[in-house]
Amino acid sequence: MGADLNWLTEMGLDIETGQSYTGGEVKYLSAVQRFYKNYEKNRARVCEYYAAKDYESYMITVHALKSNARMIGATDLSARFETLEMAARNGETGVIDEQNDDTLKAYDELIQKLSPIGEMGDVRAVDEISAETARETVDKLLAALDDFDDEEAGKQAKILSGYPFRTTQAGQLKEAIGLIEDFMYDEAAELIRAIAPTIE
């Protein structure tokens, strides 16, 4: 698999950083694939919120893109999205007007370079689950928590941990699993509901 990653280095990705976030070659490649496949949807959202001057939704979207870019080792692009996120947070619309188009252009260029990843078959780690399975698992997990069924909740939480969440959400899921073990079902459900929207 190592040879597969060499060309990603040539595209400007810091694959060592990416693997440290994702946990190995297979999960890293899977993350790059998701970054590539979600491009059109995420780019359209940025454009839509920017045009509508909906800076709250804009901030949430560029924050996610910052995290996703960082996770695959696209450090320059991540920094660009972070600048836009902070500008939206602080109401600095002039900075957004100045840098939005250039940032999207850098995003476009990286995606073009990554086009071979779209031609590969889906890359998944052995225990990795799809977004569809993850959403179904969330529903089952919340139902189990609602029924105070700790055994079923623990089982579903373990399945859900196979979804490649970003670092923050992975930490929240780990915390939720600890809460389930302590029979703190409401608190666990609150965390699960918080991470569910990040499944894409």
Q: Are residues 15 and 97 in the same domain?
A: yes
Round to whole Å and give the CA distance between 50 and 128. Answer: 34
Per-residue confidence at 1, pLDDT binned at 50, 70, 90? very low
166 within some domain? yes
Give me the number of domains the chain comprises: 2
For 27-74, write each residue's pLDDT tens digit: 788 888 888 988 999 999 999 999 999 999 999 899 989 988 998 999
Q: Are residues 87 and 153 in the same domain?
A: no
Per-residue confidence at 121, pLDDT binned at 50, 70, 90? low
In this predicted structure, the answer to whether residue 99 has a pLDDT above a threshold of 70 is yes
Task: Identify the pLDDT of residue 69.
Answer: 92
Q: Are residues 25 and 91 in the same domain?
A: yes
Q: Are residues 109 and 17 in the same domain?
A: yes
7 within some domain? yes
110 within some domain? yes
Residues 6+ apart with CB under 8 A from 102: 80
Q: Are residues 13 and 93 in the same domain?
A: yes
125 within some domain? no
Instruction: Look at 112 and 171; give whichever has higher pLDDT.
Output: 112
Q: Are residues 114 and 137 in the same domain?
A: no
Round to whole Å and give the CA distance between 29 and 22. Answer: 9
Task: Identify the pLDDT of residue 4.
Answer: 61
Instruction: Look at 121 and 155; give whichever has higher pLDDT.
Output: 155
Helix (H), strand (E) at residue 160: helix 150-160
Average pLDDT over residues 110-127: 74
Task: Identify the pLDDT of residue 127.
Answer: 67
In this predicted structure, the answer to whether residue 2 has a pLDDT above a threshold of 60 is no
- Which of 16-20, 117-121, 187-191 holds the top average pLDDT? 187-191
Number of residues that make up the chain: 200
Task: Identify the pLDDT of residue 29.
Answer: 85
Helix (H), strand (E) at residue 26: helix 25-37
Range of the domain at 139: 131-198
Last residue of a domain, one of 119, 146, 168: 119
